[in-house]
Chains A and B, each alone.
Chain A
C-alpha cells in the first residue's frame, strides 16, 4: 500500500492542540501557497510550510510526524510577514517543531512542558532542587552528606548518575530513530539512502558537515528579506551561529577540562581555557542580542516568543555569566563568599540543561542536522534519477 493511498483520519480538533504549542491561526489560512513560494528554502518538491499547515488543519498527525520539513525552517519570518491572511505560518512551523519534540519524546514530559507554563516551571525548579541537594550532599563536610550517604551508599548515587546519562543517550538515539522511521513511512518504508552509492553517501555527510559549520542555508533566509538589511553581525544567522558555535565551544572546552584535569590530573589545560573563554564571549554575545531582540519583538521573525524560547535563552545566559564569574575567580584567585553559590548554580543549571536536552528546544540541535541529512540524501537521489533519466 503506497503512502499516498494510505487512509487518514481527519481530526479538526488537532488545531486546538497545536495552538497550545504556539501555532499561528490555522483557521485563517486559505491555502494560497504564498508562504511556500516566498520561502527561500522551499525548492522543487521540498516545499513548505503550506503543505504542513494543510496537514495541521486536517489533523493529519501521522503526515506531520513523517515530515522533516519543520526542521529545515530557520524562522526568518518572511512567510508570516507576507501572509495575506496574517495566519502566521512561521509560528505554526515553530509549533510543529515543538510538537515533534513532544511526539518523539517517549516520557511525555516534553508535551506536558510545552502545554503548560506551570509544568515547565515546576519541573525546572524541582530538578534544580534535587540536583542542588545531591551536589551539596556530595561534600563530606556537610551534615547532609552523612545523613544521605548513611542511608544510600555513595557508589549507588554515583552509578545512578551514570544510568541517567545512559538513559539520556538512549533517549537521543530513540528520538533520532523515531524521526528517521517516521520519515521512512513517507517513502513506503524505503531507506532514505536506498540506491545511493557510497560516494553519494559521503557527499551527503560532507554537505551536512559543511552546513553545520557554515549555516549557509540560514544565510539564504537573510538574503531574501525585503527590508533594510541588518549589518552582518546582527543578521539572524550570525546571532544563531554565535549561540551555536559558543555552545559547542564551551561543551568541547568542558570536555577537555574534564579529561585533562579530572582524569589526567593536570593542574590546568591552557587550550581548553582559551577555547572556553572565546566560546563564552561568542555565546554571551549571541544570547544577549537574542534576548534583546526578542524582548523588543520588532523583527518579523521575533514577533512572538514562547516560554520554551525564553527558557533556553535564560539558561544559556545564566550559564555564560556564572561561567565567567568562576573563570575569573579561579584564574585570579578571587575569594568571594558567593563563589560557592555561583558554582552551585552553574553546575546545577549545566546538568539540568543536559538532562532535559531531549524535552526542550535544545533538542533541535539533534533533529535539525538529522532532517538536513535526510534532505541532502533526497536531493542526491533526485540527482541520480535525473542523470539516469538522461542516460535513457
Chain B
C-alpha cells in the first residue's frame, strides 16, 4: 500500500546543540555523553527502533555477556534523558554548513501510525492477517505487516510495512487509540546543529559475493547475523535449527574471511571482529548443540584485544576444531549438506573435502553510509569516513563534524563505545569553544520538542 496524494509535507525548523546520526551503541553513547554535559542532543535513527546492530546480538565476546542486557539500559537511558530527543524512522539526506553551524535535511519516513496517540498495546499486530520475513530476525522468523519492531524496541510504537500491507483495515478497527494513519506522508524536516556526530554504523556484505561459495543454492549457508538470532534466547526458533529443513545441525563449519581480506571481492581490509565473534558463536553453539562437530576454517586468528587470546585458547580446549586454510569452494550437495574444499596448510598441505550440514560465512564489515560526502565528510578509498588527523581520531576534517564507531572503520563494541566518548568529547570541546568565543551562537534554542521519548 502506498500513500495517496503526497503533497502535504510539513516544514519544521528545529535547533539543537548536537545531532547524532545513528542510534546504535556508538550513537547512543555519544548522545548520552553530550547530554550529560547539558547539551541538547537529537538522535536520528533510520530504523523504527534505536539499538542498532548490538540489540540483535546474542552475546558479546570475550565476556559472553548478554548483548541486549547491556544495550537496553543504554537505549532506555537515552530515551528518558531530558536533554535527548529521539527521531526514529528518519534519514539524514544532507548536511551543509550554514554560518557557524550545520543545517541538516531529514526525511521522516511514514510509520502509518500516529505516535502521539499510539500506546504500543499491539492490538493492531494481533489482528493483522499478513506475515512476512522478519528483518530483525534476519528473515528467518515472521512478523506482521503492522507490528512493534521487536520485543525490546524503543520507542514502543507500531510501524506498518506498506510493501506487505493489504489495506484490509483490521488494524484500524483494532486500534484502541485510533492511531492508524494510512494516509501518512514522508515529512521533510530541517534541523540546525552546532555539531554533528556521524555514527552510521555498518552492515555485513553479501554471502553471495564469492560465486565459488554458492550461497544462493543453499539456505544452510548463512551469515553470522543469522546465527546470532538462532543463538539468541528469544530468537525465532528458540533453539538452533538449520534453516532449510529444521534439522538439528550435527557438523557446523565457520568460514572466516569470507567477506573480507579478499581483493577478489573488493574488500582487502580485515573486518577485525570476525575471528572473535566466530569463536564466540562456536562456543555458544557447542553449548546449544553439545554433540555437534564444530570446525572453524581460518587464515589467521586475530585475537588482539584484552582477553581475546585466552578466549581463543578456551575455545580450542572446548574441542572446537581449528583448521588453517582459506575455504576455496563450497559445494551444496543433493542431500542438503555442503562439501568444503580447503588446503590443510598445517597438516602436510593436502587438499581436504569436508562435509558439513550448516555453514556460517563470516562476512565482512562494510560502511552503511555510502555517500559521506552528502553528510559533510570525506571518504577513504575503502569507503569508510575519512579521519585526516591521526591525533584527533574522531574528527572528520570538517568543522564541527565528528565520527564514531564502525562508520570510521571496522571495530568491536568496546572500541565503538570508546570512540563514541572521544567523538562526544571533541564535539563538546568544539561547542564550548564556540560559546566562549562569544559568537553568534546563543545557548541552544529548542523550538520544538517532538516527544520526550519518541520521535
Contact = CB atoms under 8 A, between A and B. Distances in A.
Interface string B254-281: 0001000111100000000000000000
B328 A50 contact: no
Interface string B310-349: 0000000000000011111100000000000111010011
Contact of B212 (A36, A38, A51): A38
A51 B342 contact: no
A47 B349 contact: yes
A85 interface: yes
B343 A33 contact: yes
A226 interface: yes
Contacts of A226: 211-212
A29 B299 CA distance: 12
Contact of A37 (B211, B262, B300, B326): B326
What are the 7 closest A-B residue pairs judged by CB atoms, nearest first? A33-B343, A37-B328, A38-B328, A32-B326, A84-B262, A36-B343, A34-B326
Given A83-B263, A84-B262, A31 B329 contact: no
Interface string A68-89: 0000000000000111111000
Contacts of B351: 36-37, 42-44, 47
A275 B345 CA distance: 49
B359 to A, nearest CB: 15
B318 to A, nearest CB: 25
B263 A33 contact: no
Nearest to A38: B328
A30 interface: yes
Nearest to A79: B328
A34 B263 CA distance: 13
Nearest to A31: B345
A335 interface: no
Interface in A216-234: 226
A34 B298 CA distance: 11
A183 to B, nearest CB: 18
Contacts of A142: none
A45 interface: yes
Nearest to B299: A32
B7 interface: no
B197 to A, nearest CB: 34
A82 B212 CA distance: 9
Contacts of A36: 328, 343, 349, 351
Interface string A43-66: 111010011000000000000000
Nearest to A86: B263
A85 B210 CA distance: 15
A82 B325 CA distance: 14
Nearest to A50: B343
Interface residues of A, number: 23
Contact of A84 (B263, B325, B341, B343): B263
A379 B241 CA distance: 41
Contact of A38 (B262, B299, B300, B341): B341
Interface in A267-312: none
Interface in B344-395: 345, 348-351
B328 A30 contact: no
12 contacts: A30-B300, A32-B325, A33-B326, A33-B343, A36-B343, A43-B351, A47-B351, A84-B261, A84-B263, A84-B264, A86-B264, A226-B212
A122 B262 CA distance: 43
A51 B326 CA distance: 14
Nearest to B348: A45
B264 A37 contact: no
A36 B329 CA distance: 11
B349 A50 contact: yes
A83 B342 contact: no
Given A37-B326, A37-B343, A226-B212, 7 more contacts: A33-B324, A37-B328, A47-B351, A50-B349, A82-B328, A84-B264, A86-B263
B296 to A, nearest CB: 15
Nearest to B350: A45
Given A81-B264, A82-B264, A37 B329 contact: yes
A36 B211 CA distance: 17
B350 A33 contact: no
A226 B209 CA distance: 12
A51 B261 CA distance: 21
B257 A38 contact: no
Nearest to B262: A84
A47 B210 CA distance: 22
A64 to B, nearest CB: 15
Given A43-B351, A83-B264, A84-B326, A33 B212 contact: no
A228 to B, nearest CB: 11
Contacts of A33: 324-326, 328, 342-343, 345, 349
A226 B212 CA distance: 7
Contact of A51 (B210, B262, B349): B349
Contacts of B211: 226
Contacts of A51: 349
B342 A37 contact: yes
B361 to A, nearest CB: 14
Nearest to A37: B328
Nearest to A35: B328
A33 B348 CA distance: 12
A334 B197 CA distance: 85
Interface string A17-35: 0000000000000111111
Contacts of A84: 257, 261-264, 299, 326
Interface string B6-24: 0000000000000000000
A82 B262 CA distance: 8
Contacts of B327: 37
Contact of A85 (B263, B325, B328): B263
A153 to B, nearest CB: 60
A274 B264 CA distance: 48
A36 B350 CA distance: 9
A282 B263 CA distance: 39
Contacts of B328: 33-38, 82
B326 A47 contact: no
A300 B349 CA distance: 25
Contacts of B261: 84
Given A32-B299, A82-B264, A44 B329 contact: no
B325 A37 contact: yes
A33 B349 CA distance: 8
A30 B342 CA distance: 15
B350 A47 contact: yes
A30 B63 CA distance: 31
Given A37-B326, A38-B328, A38-B329, A30 B349 contact: no
A83 B343 CA distance: 14
B302 to A, nearest CB: 12
A46 B352 CA distance: 11
B362 to A, nearest CB: 14
A318 to B, nearest CB: 38
Interface string B210-253: 11100000000000000000000000000000000000000000
Contact of A44 (B257, B264, B350): B350
A45 B326 CA distance: 17
A32 B257 CA distance: 10
Contacts of B299: 30, 32, 84
A6 B211 CA distance: 41
A86 B261 CA distance: 11
Contacts of A34: 326, 328, 343
